[in-house]
Amino acid sequence: MNLIGQRAPEFSTQAVMGDGTINEDFNLHEQLNGDYGILFFYPLDFTFVCPSELIAFNHRLAAFAEKKTQVIAVSIDSQFTHLAWRNTAVENGGVGPLGYPMVADCSHKIINSYGVQAPSEDVALRATFLIDANGIIRHQSINDLPLGRNVDEYLRLVDAWQFHEAHGEVCPAGWQAGEDGMDASPEGVASYLSEHSKSL
CB of 45 within 8 A of CB of 85? yes
106 catalytic? Reply is: no
Task: Give every CB contact of residue 7 below 8 A, 6+ residues apart in sequence.
Answer: 135, 136, 137
The size of the chain, in residues, is 200
Cα–Cα distance list, 136 to 105, 128, 171 (Å): 21, 14, 19
Cα–Cα distance list, 195 to 156, 161, 176, 188, 199 (Å): 22, 22, 16, 11, 9
Kindly name the residue from 50, 73, 125, 158 that is annotated as catalytic.
Answer: 50
Amino acid in the structure at residue 183: D
CB of 127 within 8 A of CB of 140? yes
Q: Strand, coil or helix: what is 91?
A: helix
Instruction: Round to whole Å and give the CA distance between 28 and 72.
Output: 9
Q: Which residues are catalytic?
A: 50
